[in-house]
Amino acid sequence: MIIHSAKKKVRLLSRILKKFDIKEIIISPGSRNAPLIIEFTGQDFFKNYSIVDERSAAFFALGIAQQQKYPSILVCTSGSALLNYYPAIAEAFYSKIPLIIISADRPQKWVDQGEGQTIRQHEVFKNHSYFNTTLENQTHEQINDTIEKAIKISIEKQGPIHINIPFDEPLYETIQNEEEKIIPKKYQLNFPEIPEKKLQKLLEIWNQSKNKIILAGQHYPSDFLQKQLEKLSQDKDLIVLTENISNLHHEQFINNIDQTIFGLNNQSLSLLKPDLLITVGRNIISKKIKQFLRKYKPKHHWHIEITDIAPNTYEALTEHINSHPEIFFSQFLFLIYDQMKKDGTYQNQWLAIKNRNKKRHRQFLEKTPFSDLKIFDFLEKNIPENFMIQWSNSSEIRYAQLFDFRKSIIHFSNRGTSGIDGSSSTAIGAAKITEKPTLLISGDLSFLYDSNGLWNKYIPNHFKAIVINNGGGEIFNFIPGPSKTQALNDFFVTKHSLKIKKMVEMFQLKYIYINNSESLKEKFPDFINNHSKPQIMEIDTSEIANYQILKDYFEFLFDNSK
């Protein structure tokens, strides 16, 4: 026997979720959502998580969906609880991660009538979601069709949808039934090939373009795409540019964009201007490559992605290829493989700059004292094979772009909105759903901001975090502008004296403190290899002028006198 809510539409919702094999449900407590809690916790099919803080719960769900590429469910009560989901929903929208939000509500007649925990919930996420509905005054058939449509949209669009359900009291009534025999089947997506006529048009542009760039943004690991880009890089008139969250690596690629072009003068940059730019994946971290491509615009820009709106990031978009990169390149490589230029010079121009700056990079790091930059040098060499790194935003994800981690390491970050909120919660959700050892690398502000990310009982033993505590938002010391104002320390850097140790110990996790190179070398092996308990390592660089070391680094790379 299983326990159901007495509410018919909740039982129908449950049945449809089973049909689509959606079972990861993150619930925050409340009373108005009691029918949903009763329904989902009353049967073994669903895997339920109880997380009090709705903002943290939403990012936790995001981490699960990020890894599965399949929807997870968020369930909350009525009122402001629902609004706390919004940061994660915006991230899911821009990072193309499927989330299904199910909110309890009071009947619509009580909205704006002074009832407690009652706000305008209908379509509250409409600017950052693909489908919104309120299930009230509909027939059984209409509710069935609406829910199925919503779920299909979340899967196909790879993004968030919102189902709002008003409930009359009583809320806690239950019924018992024999368990239904529903055979779950994940929804299958079909992706058509590119029409031959369009391929021929693109082939003409390819052949007319001498200098070509493939720029890869945030992307799931793909061995197939990796091999395709390796084949394409045999064309010496083409260069592949990636970032670590592209999860694509090769010695013939430019894997550290800022390290390559940060300090080049206009004359050098103009020689690198592409005729054709092909972009794959989502958002790019490097501000310098954006500035470069906006100033030295390509004649043609193709963006390859299944999306309703192709981002025109470089103000030069000429073709949106609404397909997966792997599908497109499978067809296109067949057409161009015998026409690749094996004697071109464009790729070698890029690689010459890369190799020169790689050498200078190593020379600078050999003499660099303990600092944020030196810590990343250590992490590059010492994080083992087959880890998953979840990067927080701001300084950490940008430092990471200067280093080449082991190829078996996979990288994720909330780069849809690039906010510092939710990094810990996302990383823990991702770690919970995979057995892969997971390392969050975070700044102090991001870690403190999402402190409730540690407030759940689902943190797996193979999760660990490194918090680089430089005493505030150190990135604002580096970027031009803030230092010229009167508000640098209090309103940009936001220096603080909060104790991360006390926060970590409150949540009963293992804490390790580091403030010098010797201690890091000594304690890191056990920290990274011991998976008996979740661990948090704080690396304190708050007394070090990290921003000055980073400025010196870039000046050294591009000093032509050296």
Confidence at residue 31, expressed as pLDDT on a 0 to 100 scale: 92
Confidence at residue 321, expressed as pLDDT on a 0 to 100 scale: 95
Confidence at residue 183, expressed as pLDDT on a 0 to 100 scale: 72
Closest CA to 155 of 124, 202, 107, 187: 187
- 115 and 206 together in one domain: no
Three-state DSSP state, 264: coil
Confidence at residue 486, expressed as pLDDT on a 0 to 100 scale: 58
Confidence at residue 492, expressed as pLDDT on a 0 to 100 scale: 58
Confidence of residue 188 (pLDDT cuts 50, 70, 90): confident
Confidence of residue 315 (pLDDT cuts 50, 70, 90): very high
- 215 and 347 together in one domain: yes
H-helix or E-strand spanning residue 221: none
pLDDT digits (tens, 9 = 90+) for 192-240: 788 999 999 999 999 999 999 999 999 999 999 999 999 999 999 999 9
Confidence at residue 497, expressed as pLDDT on a 0 to 100 scale: 75
Q: Which amino acid appears at position 90 of this protein?
A: A
- 462 and 531 together in one domain: yes
Would residue 52 count as lying in a domain?
A: yes
Confidence of residue 473 (pLDDT cuts 50, 70, 90): low
E strands, 248-299, in order: 276-280
Confidence at residue 477, expressed as pLDDT on a 0 to 100 scale: 55
Higher pLDDT, 182 or 258: 258
pLDDT for residue 496 is more than 80: no
Confidence at residue 49, expressed as pLDDT on a 0 to 100 scale: 97
pLDDT for residue 562 is more than 60: no
Q: What is the number of structural domains in the chain?
A: 3
Would residue 185 count as lying in a domain?
A: no
pLDDT digits (tens, 9 = 90+) for 70-82: 999 999 999 999 9
- 167 and 214 together in one domain: no
- 342 and 373 together in one domain: no
Would residue 312 count as lying in a domain?
A: yes
- 25 and 101 together in one domain: yes
pLDDT for residue 472 is more than 70: no
Confidence of residue 480 (pLDDT cuts 50, 70, 90): low
Range in 103-117, 286-300, 467-481 with the lowest mean pLDDT: 467-481
pLDDT for residue 349 is more than 60: yes
Closest CA to 297 of 260, 264, 272: 272
Q: What is the mean predicted confidence (pLDDT) over 497-506?
A: 89
DSSP category for residue 254: B
pLDDT for residue 498 is more than 90: no
Give residue 96's region: left, alpha or beta (phi > 0; psi -120 to 50): left
- 148 and 33 together in one domain: yes
Confidence of residue 510 (pLDDT cuts 50, 70, 90): very high
Higher pLDDT, 180 or 265: 265
- 82 and 132 together in one domain: yes
The reported pTM is: 0.93
Q: What is the mean predicted confidence (pLDDT) over 417-441?
A: 95
Question: Which range marks the domain in which residue 229 is found?
Answer: 200-351
Quote the distance between the C-alpha of residue 383 and its chain's center.
20
Confidence of residue 455 (pLDDT cuts 50, 70, 90): very high
- 329 and 397 together in one domain: no
Would residue 129 count as lying in a domain?
A: yes
Confidence at residue 343, expressed as pLDDT on a 0 to 100 scale: 87
pLDDT for residue 97 is more than 80: yes
Confidence at residue 474, expressed as pLDDT on a 0 to 100 scale: 59
Residue 102 backbone dihedrals phi, psi, to 5 degrees: -120, 110
- 326 and 443 together in one domain: no
Q: What is the mean predicted confidence (pLDDT) over 19-36?
A: 95
pLDDT digits (tens, 9 = 90+) for 388-427: 999 999 899 999 999 999 999 999 999 999 998 999 999 9
- 342 and 379 together in one domain: no
Nearest 5°: the CA angle 43, 48, 50 is 135
381-418 per-residue burial string, b: 16 or more CB within 10 A, e: under 16: eebeeebbbbbbbbbbbbbbbbbebeeebbbbbbbbbe
Confidence at residue 124, expressed as pLDDT on a 0 to 100 scale: 93
Closest CA to 281 of 325, 240, 339: 325
pLDDT for residue 481 is more than 70: no
Would residue 528 count as lying in a domain?
A: yes
Range in 94-103, 194-203, 459-468 with the lowest mean pLDDT: 194-203
pLDDT for residue 538 is more than 60: yes
- 205 and 306 together in one domain: yes
- What is the rounded (10 degree) CA torsion for 178, 180, 181, 185? -150
Would residue 489 count as lying in a domain?
A: yes
Confidence at residue 534, expressed as pLDDT on a 0 to 100 scale: 96
- Which residues are 304's β-sheet partners? 280, 321
CB 469 within 8 A of CB 445: no
Query: What whole-number distance in Å separates Cα of residue 362 and Cα of residue 372?
Result: 16
Last residue of a domain, one of 298, 322, 351: 351
Measured over the CA atoms of residue 225, residue 227, residue 228 and residue 234, the dihedral's sign is: positive
Rounded to the nearest integer, the mean pLDDT of the chain is 92
Report the CATH number that the domain containing residue 55 is assigned in CATH.
Answer: 3.40.50.970
